């Protein structure tokens, strides 16, 4: 299956650590990337190739992937991290797929 499953919503207290997960069979074979999207804005790449972070993304964002599960961790969440987060991968036929998205609330 090429589907990716994410929890619809997660919350975290300001300054605490939160993990957002993504599950799917395709993750066993293909790399995952993660995107942050704030209201009214285009998505922004935060993690690619499981663990790599673009230079402009703060180092409190990190990624991990093993088996059929990938995770995005924010260590010391800030108010500006409140957003929707999407995982993305592909399947063996070349089709790309996004997870359903996780709405992160910073309390």
Tell me which residues touch other proteins (CB under 8 A). 30-31, 33, 35, 37, 42-45, 48-49, 52, 54, 84, 86, 88, 90, 93-101
- Residue 28 or residue 95: which is nearer to other proteins going by CB? 95
- The closest of 96, 91, 35 to 68, measured between CA atoms, is 91
Alpha carbon distances (Å) from 70 to 39, 44, 96: 24, 18, 16
Q: How far is the CB of 35 from other proteins (least distance, A)?
A: 7
Phi, psi of 81 (to 5 degrees): -85, -10
- Residue 31 or residue 76: which is nearer to other proteins going by CB? 31
Residue pair 6/21 in contact by the 8 Å Cβ criterion: yes
Distance, CA of 33 to CA of 92 (rounded, Å): 16
Q: How far is the CB of 72 from other proteins (least distance, A)?
A: 14
- Residue 76 or residue 98: which is nearer to other proteins going by CB? 98
Q: How far is the CB of 93 from other proteins (least distance, A)?
A: 7
């Amino acid at each position: 299956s090429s589907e990716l499953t994410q929890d619809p919503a997660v919350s975290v207290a300001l300054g605490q650590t939160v993990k957002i997960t993504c599950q799917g069979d395709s993750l066993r074979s293909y790399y995952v990337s993660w995107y942050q999207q704030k209201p009214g804005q285009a998505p922004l790449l935060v993690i690619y190739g499981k663990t790599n972070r673009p230079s402009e993304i703060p180092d409190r964002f990190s990624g991990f992937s093993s088996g059929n599960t990938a995770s995005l961790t924010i260590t010391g969440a800030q108010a500006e991290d409140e957003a929707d987060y999407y995982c993305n991968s592909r399947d063996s036929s070349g089709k790309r797929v996004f997870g359903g998205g996780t709405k992160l609330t910073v309390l």
